[in-house]
Amino acid sequence: MSEHDGRDPDPGTGDEADASTDPQEGDECGCGDACEVESASASGATGETGTGDPTGESAGSARAEFGVPDMDCASCASKVETSVRKLDGVGDIDPRVTTGRLVVDYDPDRTTPDDIRGNIEGAGYAVEGGPSTREVSLSVPDMDCASCAGKVENALRDAPGVLSYETRPTAGTAVVTLAADADLDSVVSAVESAGYEVTGTDGDDGDNGHGHSHGGSDADRESVWRSTRAVKTWVSGGFLTAGIAAEYLLGLELVVASVLGVSFTVAEVLYLLGAAVGGQAILRNGYYSAKNRSLDIDFLMSTAILSAVAASLISGPTSLYFEAATLAFLFSVSELLERYSMDRTRDSLRELMDLSPDEATVLRDGVETVVPVEELELDDVVAVKPGEKIPVDGTVVAGDSAVNQAPITGESVPVDKAEGDEVFAGTVNEAGYLEVRVESAAGDDTLSRIVSMVEDAQSNKTEREQFVERFSSYYTPVMVVVAVAVAAIPPIAFGLDWVTWFVYGITMLVLACPCAFVISTPVSVVSGITSAAKNGVLIKGGTHLEAMGSVEAVAVDKTGTLTKGELTVTDVVPLNGNSEEDVLRCARGLESRSEHPIGEAIVSHAEGTGVAGREVDDFESVTGKGVRADLDGVPHFAGKPGFFEELGFDLEHVHVTGPGEELSEDVRQLCDRHGCLNLVEDTIPRLQSEGKTVVVVGTEDDLEGLVAVADEVRPDARETVAKLREAGLSVVMLTGDNEGTARAIAEQVGVDDFRAGLLPEDKVAAVEGLLDEYGSVAMVGDGINDAPALATATVGVAMGAAGTDTALETADIALMADDLSKLPYLYELSHRANNVIRQNIWASLAIKAVLAVGVPFGYVSVALAVLAGDAGMTMGVTGNAMRLARIRPDE
Least Cα distance to 877 among 840, 843, 841 occurs for 840
183: pLDDT confidence band, cut at 50, 70 and 90?
confident
- Choose between 412 and 320: higher pLDDT: 320
Reply yes or no on whether the pLDDT at 719 is more than 90: yes
Flag the least confident range among 482-496, 668-682, 779-793, 851-865. Answer: 668-682
Pick the catalytic residue: 393, 557, 737, 819?
A: 557
What is the pLDDT at residue 777?
95
466: pLDDT confidence band, cut at 50, 70 and 90?
low
Reply yes or no on whether the pLDDT at 551 is more than 90: yes
- Choose between 891 and 342: higher pLDDT: 891
What is the pLDDT at residue 252?
75
- Do you know the residue count of the chain? 891
Is position 782 annotated as part of the catalytic site?
no
What is the pLDDT averaged over residues 397-414?
Answer: 74
* Distance between CA atoms of residues 255 and 269, nearest Å: 9
What is the pLDDT at residue 862?
54
DSSP state of 812: S
188 φ/ψ angles, rounded to the nearest 5 degrees:
-60, -45
506: pLDDT confidence band, cut at 50, 70 and 90?
low
Reply yes or no on whether the pLDDT at 718 is more than 70: yes
Q: Give the 3-state secondary structure of residue 644.
A: helix
Reply yes or no on whether the pLDDT at 54 is more than 80: no
* Distance between CA atoms of residues 641 and 706, nearest Å: 9
pLDDT, tens digit, 9 for 90 and up, residues 219-245: 444 467 778 888 888 999 899 899 889
Q: Strand 45-49 to strand 62-67: parallel, antiparallel, or no bridges (unpaired)?
A: antiparallel
Q: Strand 795-799 to strand 813-815: parallel, antiparallel, or no bridges (unpaired)?
A: parallel
Reply yes or no on whether the pLDDT at 457 is more than 80: no
Residues 6+ apart with CB under 8 A from 781: 556, 557, 560, 561, 734, 789, 790, 796, 797, 798, 799, 803, 807, 811
* Distance between CA atoms of residues 304 and 273, nearest Å: 16
What is the pLDDT at residue 201?
77
Reply yes or no on whether the pLDDT at 209 is more than 70: no
What is the pLDDT averaged over residues 25-50?
Answer: 33
Rounded to the nearest angstrom, the gap between the alpha carbon of residue 36 and the centroid of all alpha carbons in its chain is 28
* Distance between CA atoms of residues 194 and 308, nearest Å: 26
What is the pLDDT averaged over residues 813-821?
Answer: 74
User: In this structure, which amino acid lies at residue 710?
Assistant: A
- Choose between 52 and 263: higher pLDDT: 263
Residues 6+ apart with CB under 8 A from 241: none
DSSP state of 388: P
User: What angle separates helix 321-354 from helix 266-291, to the nearest 10 degrees?
Assistant: 50
What is the pLDDT at residue 410?
46
Reply yes or no on whether the pLDDT at 82 is more than 70: yes
What is the pLDDT averaged over residues 37-41?
Answer: 30
Burial of 612 (0-12, 13-18, 19+ CB in 10 A): exposed
DSSP string of 320-368? -HHHHHHHHHHHHHHHHHHHHHHHHHHHHHHHHHHTS-SEEEEEETTEE
What is the pTM assigned to this prediction? 0.49
pLDDT, tens digit, 9 for 90 and up, residues 370-387: 998 888 888 899 999 988
pLDDT, tens digit, 9 for 90 and up, residues 723-765: 999 999 999 999 887 787 788 888 889 999 999 888 888 899 9
What is the pLDDT at residue 34?
31
Residues 6+ apart with CB under 8 A from 434: 383, 384, 390, 396, 398, 399, 400, 401, 403, 417, 423
Reply yes or no on whether the pLDDT at 785 is more than 80: no
pLDDT, tens digit, 9 for 90 and up, residues 253-310: 777 766 766 777 888 889 899 989 988 888 888 887 787 676 665 776 677 678 768 7
- Choose between 468 and 106: higher pLDDT: 106
Residues 6+ apart with CB under 8 A from 331: 282, 301, 519, 522
Of all residues in the chain, the percent with pLDDT exceeding 70 is: 69
Reply yes or no on whether the pLDDT at 397 is more than 90: yes
Least Cα distance to 483 among 466, 503, 457 occurs for 503
What's the chain's average pLDDT? 74
Reply yes or no on whether the pLDDT at 187 is more than 50: yes
622: pLDDT confidence band, cut at 50, 70 and 90?
confident
What is the pLDDT at residue 658?
45
Of all residues in the chain, the percent with pLDDT exceeding 90 is: 11
Contact indicator for 511, 865 with CB cutoff of 8 Å: yes
Q: Strand 537-539 to strand 394-399: parallel, antiparallel, or no bridges (unpaired)?
A: unpaired
